[in-house]
Structure 1
Amino acid sequence: MAVYTEVAAETLRAFLGTYNIGTLEAFEGIAEGIENSNFLLKTSDSKYILTLFERRVQPKDLPWFLGLMKHLSQKGLNCPQPVEDQKGQALRELAGRPAAITTFLSGRAIEEIDEASCAAIGEALAQFHVLGADYKIERKNALSIEGWRPLFESCHGAGDDLSSGLTQEISKALLRLEKNWPQTDDLPRGQIHADLFPDNAFFQGKTVSGIIDFYFACTDFFAYDIAICLNAWCFKEDKTFLPTFAKAMIDGYEKVRPLERAEKEALPLLCQGAAIRFFLTRLYDWVNTPEGALVTKKDPLVYLTRLRYFSEVDHV
């Protein structure tokens, strides 16, 4: 989450007047994240999240995202529910951007990751995969193997400004991944979250109370979604891999959906892919985030460390 586009209070009040969610009492921008402009709304009825879609989100994909959220919510996954206006529309336009309001989830991002929280997020991820199985419309993962090289080239060698020789190192890693990446039918696949970082999971105590930010969700390998979580949750101080955390996560996942042998064998490669995906999007944002945007830029080199780690192991 972030804020790139500002919204005037009077404009927002008029916009909310087309919904049945009460009158505006307060709103504030949310700085976390880097993709869209987000605001916490407090109305006379309740709290809501307003999202203005920017940057990598394609407007044509928005009905798919909102439909998946509605589907999973109705199936019992605790996630934001799109709010429809008085005409039954969930997708609108505000301040020149596609916009949607969703329900507000209780809970907060966990303050200190441990084995218990990794087990809980593994279980929640598996529930996401199982409950999404009958959401049949597919959405291609634009930030998978075919998208990494164009993204890398769009950074025009900016990695060398962060660390000498980085462009060559990433180029070699891309060649290795392009040669060995699984084919579509090699591994089980379906709807995945593709961005389940600690700030996209809410906890109450040790229990996952909700999953948010579905705007990278797509149709891809389930094990790739696990690989993203292993990168995001299982490193101490961004540097040291914690095998006990990884085991807890995978054990939690398998309580709901057992992994196939091929999925387990593919995890080191998929983890390399997840690391390079987040390295490249962070590098792109590091170079291209406009000055003055209410957004916290994230260090790409964190994921270089993870890429190097997973490139040297044969199991997770």
Structure 2
Amino acid sequence: MAVFTPLSPAEAALVARAHGLGAVSAITPIPAGSVNSNFFLDTDAGRRFMRIYEEQEADGVAYEWALLDHLGEAGLPVPARVAGPAPGAVRVAGKPVALFELVGGEMSCQAGVSKARARALGGFLARCHAAAAGFGWRRRSRFDLGRVAERLAGVPREGELEPVVGRLGAVLAEVREGWPVGLPRGPVHGDLFRDNVHWEGDAIVAAIDWESAADGLFAYDLAVTILAWCFGDAFEWGLAAALVDGYEAIRPLEAREAAELRRMLLAAAARFTVTRITDFHLREGVGERVHKDYRRFLARLEALAAHDAAALAARLGVAVAG
């Protein structure tokens, strides 16, 4: 979440009217995040969350809305969309918009990530994967490895980035060679970071920001979540093992998935290093938002690279056939 496209009072009023919310009394920009422009709107019907989609067109918006409906019907705690016009029918600066009901709970800081929360998160992710497997839509991810490699190719190889680009190119080539075929897949969140999960105690009350959801490997989505939740100044392997344990309590990993976890983790670390370079490091001063340093994910990548597949599996408490 961030602010790239400004929202005028007249535009906010148009959006609110289209959703039957009455007049708008206040607009509050939300600077956190990286991709979309987001606001709180105070209306006659109460406060709502508004998103301007910066990178999605109507088809991508329709996919997200349909997936949220599907997961909500399965009993999973996801945001409820405010009923209104079809995807893309209401726009600001030519871009699709959406309104969502507010969610409760609080986000967790890294220090607040306990083994109990990690286990609960793993179980939640597994339930999402189980439910999403019955979702009929398929959509290519904007962040699959081919597109990540394209992003990296556009990064200038100069200054501090010169060795980083070379390193990332080597890692992407390594993980793409022999990329596994036939692993369980379906719609995945792809971005389940701490700021996208709300808690009450050790219970998840909402998982938000499904805008990047797309078809992908479930093991890769698990890897993204491990990287997002189990690294402070270094990897916290006890948290990672608890997260995987919670996941496997609902959906045990296939032997092939367990064997590929190192590849999945390296691929995810490379992806987020690249996107933090392209979306933040090379765009400093663009939009009102919180900065995210690519070095944080580069550190994860190097820590992972120091382990072979068997050592990583042992850290995660996963059995890998020898």
TM-score (norm 1): 0.92
Quote how far apart the aligned CAs of 1:164 are.
5.8
Cα separation, partners in 2 of 1:243 and 1:290, compared to 1, 3 Å: closer
In 2, the alpha carbon distance for the partners of 1:40 and 1:162 equals 38
> Residue in 2 aligned with 1:60?
59
1:250-271: CA deviations, max 9, x gaps? 1111222111111111111100
Matches within 5 A, 1:167-206: 167-183=165-181, 185=182, 187-206=183-202
Matches within 5 A, 1:1-316: 1-55=1-55, 57-85=56-84, 88-91=85-88, 92-111=90-109, 112-157=112-157, 160-162=158-160, 165-183=163-181, 185=182, 187-237=183-233, 240-289=234-283, 291-313=285-307, 314=309, 315=313, 316=316
Secondary structure of 1:49's match?
A: strand
Code of the aligned partner of 1:28: T
Quote how far apart the aligned CAs of 1:220 are.
1.0
Cα separation, partners in 2 of 1:272 and 1:58, compared to 1, 3 Å: farther
Quote how far apart the aligned CAs of 1:23 are.
3.0
TM-score (norm 2): 0.90
Secondary structure of 1:100's match?
A: strand
1:105-126: CA deviations, max 9, x gaps? 1112113222121111111111
220-229 vs 40-49, which moves further: 40-49
In 2, the alpha carbon distance for the partners of 1:58 and 1:13 equals 22
Q: Which segments of 5 or more consecutive residues in structure 2 lack a partner in the other structure? A: 317-322
State whether residues 155 and 287 of structure 1, in contact with CA within 8 Å, keep that contact through their aligned partners in structure 2. no
Secondary structure of 1:199's match?
A: helix
Cα separation, partners in 2 of 1:64 and 1:25, compared to 1, 3 Å: same
In 1, the alpha carbon distance for the partners of 2:104 and 2:131 equals 21
Code of the aligned partner of 1:9: P
| Aligned length, in residue pairs | 307
Quote how far apart the aligned CAs of 1:163 are.
5.4
State whether residues 234 and 242 of structure 1, in contact with CA within 8 Å, keep that contact through their aligned partners in structure 2. yes
Quote how far apart the aligned CAs of 1:59 are.
3.9
Code of the aligned partner of 2:223: A
In 2, the alpha carbon distance for the partners of 1:234 and 1:256 equals 20
Quote how far apart the aligned CAs of 1:32 are.
0.7
Secondary structure of 2:40's match?
A: strand
1:109-145: CA deviations, max 9, x gaps? 1132221211111111111111112111101123122
State whether residues 156 and 162 of structure 2, in contact with CA within 8 Å, keep that contact through their aligned partners in structure 1. no
In 2, the alpha carbon distance for the partners of 1:12 and 1:58 equals 20
Quote how far apart the aligned CAs of 1:8 are.
1.2
Quote how far apart the aligned CAs of 1:90 are.
4.7
State whether residues 285 and 297 of structure 1, in contact with CA within 8 Å, keep that contact through their aligned partners in structure 2. no
Quote how far apart the aligned CAs of 1:215 are.
1.1
Identity %: 28
In 2, the alpha carbon distance for the partners of 1:63 and 1:209 equals 24
In 2, the alpha carbon distance for the partners of 1:89 and 1:58 equals 12
Code of the aligned partner of 1:166: V
- CA RMSD in angstroms comes to 1.7
In 2, the alpha carbon distance for the partners of 1:162 and 1:295 equals 23
Cα separation, partners in 2 of 1:58 and 1:182, compared to 1, 3 Å: farther
Cα separation, partners in 2 of 1:192 and 1:115, compared to 1, 3 Å: same
Code of the aligned partner of 1:115: K
Quote how far apart the aligned CAs of 1:290 are.
6.2
Code of the aligned partner of 1:231: L
Secondary structure of 1:203's match?
A: strand
State whether residues 190 and 221 of structure 1, in contact with CA within 8 Å, keep that contact through their aligned partners in structure 2. yes
